[in-house]
Structure 1
Amino acid sequence: MKQIYKDTLFAAGLSLLIAIGIVAAYVQPVAAGSDQHQLETEIRAVYGEFMDAQNARDLDRVGSFFIDGPDFLWVSDGRSVWGRKATLERMGSFQKAAVWKVHPELELARIVRLGSESAMMHFPLVLEIGQEANPNRLGLLVSALFVRRGEDWRIASLLTTGRK
């Protein structure tokens, strides 16, 4: 009788371990998916505010989304522009055009977590720039590196290339 009791307890314990394993296998991907959703929500919100600042031609606000100092990198027109100040000066020269507006295709954006404090957002964008009568529409691909600074996400680099 004691052996049957021991066998029953063993089987019950084994069943419980299997059940816990199944639940853990299910919960971990769901949690990872939830973390990814949270990351995407945060990054998209920050980029949305950044885009609004660009389209408002508010360079002070644009600069507030960048990391401070000389390590910020913007690759534009085949040039490396280092530092927030130099980037804002170059952006300011472009924004002197009568028409200057970014139209990101955010429905095509892909956000990849690089670490606990960094993520890359990649997406196509159309830059409308030039004269009001006939502005150019430049197709670009943008990769933005986001890093967490305290509670906030900041942009550490913007890498742009022509879209083909």
Structure 2
Amino acid sequence: MKIGFLALTLVLAAMSSAMAADEADVRALVERFVAAQNAHDSRAVGDLLWDSPQFLWVTRGTAIWGRQPALARFETLYQGTWRLEPVLAELRIVHVADGVAGIHLPIVFTVGAPGQPAQTTRFLMNQVLVKTGAGWKVASILPIPAP
């Protein structure tokens, strides 16, 4: 009985350690994603997106499927004002399954078309992340306007 309890304790400790490491990696991905967006660096953003036709970004009620179409849309947005200001202290990371995590993050978007005044809007950013052989990648982006 003692051996079973010890084995269970070791397994739980290992799982807890792995989840903590995953959370640190997910937090780092979120920070890199924001930095790349604010730098208007589509190459760096592309490196963080899941390279799959199943990648999904819902923006202004429109579904954009696939990494390349998303990058093309980002490139268009980068021609104007595009700035993200996350409230990282309120980042929530949810372990969904092995290799799958969700994030919820209050964020302020400052967006404006080229030559037009920018507008600031608060959103609740929701993303699903998947762990690949190359690390964590953003698999979906769903920003919801905050009240």
TM-score (norm 2): 0.85
Aligned equivalent of 1:104 = 86
Which amino acid in structure 2 is aligned with residue 106 of structure 1?
Answer: L
Residues in 2 aligned to 1:29 and 1:106: alpha-carbon distance in whole angstroms: 28
Describe the superposition over 1:86-105 as per-residue Cα deviations: whole angstroms up to 9, x where unpaired. 111112222211x3211111
1:1-164 matches, cutoff 5 A: 17=1, 21=5, 30-97=13-80, 99-130=81-112, 135-164=118-147
Which amino acid in structure 1 is aligned with residue 44 of structure 2?
Answer: R
Per the TM alignment, residue 35 of structure 1 is displaced from its structure 2 partner at its CA by 2.8
Residues in 2 aligned to 1:132 and 1:19: alpha-carbon distance in whole angstroms: 69
Residues in 2 aligned to 1:19 and 1:64: alpha-carbon distance in whole angstroms: 45
Percent identity, aligned pairs only, is 30
Which amino acid in structure 2 is aligned with residue 105 of structure 1?
Answer: V
Residues in 1 aligned to 2:115 and 2:39: alpha-carbon distance in whole angstroms: 16
Which amino acid in structure 1 is aligned with residue 144 of structure 2?
Answer: T
Report how many aligned residue pairs link the two structures: 146
TM-score (norm 1): 0.77
Q: Is the 8 A contact 1:125 1:140 kept in 2?
A: yes
Residues in 2 aligned to 1:74 and 1:20: alpha-carbon distance in whole angstroms: 46
Which amino acid in structure 1 is aligned with residue 107 of structure 2?
Answer: L
Which amino acid in structure 2 is aligned with residue 152 of structure 1?
Answer: G
Describe the superposition over 1:23-61 as per-residue Cα deviations: whole angstroms up to 9, x where unpaired. 667666554443332111000111211211111101121
Pair 1:35–1:51, CA change in 2 (3 A) = same
Which amino acid in structure 1 is aligned with residue 88 of structure 2?
Answer: L
Higher helix share: 1
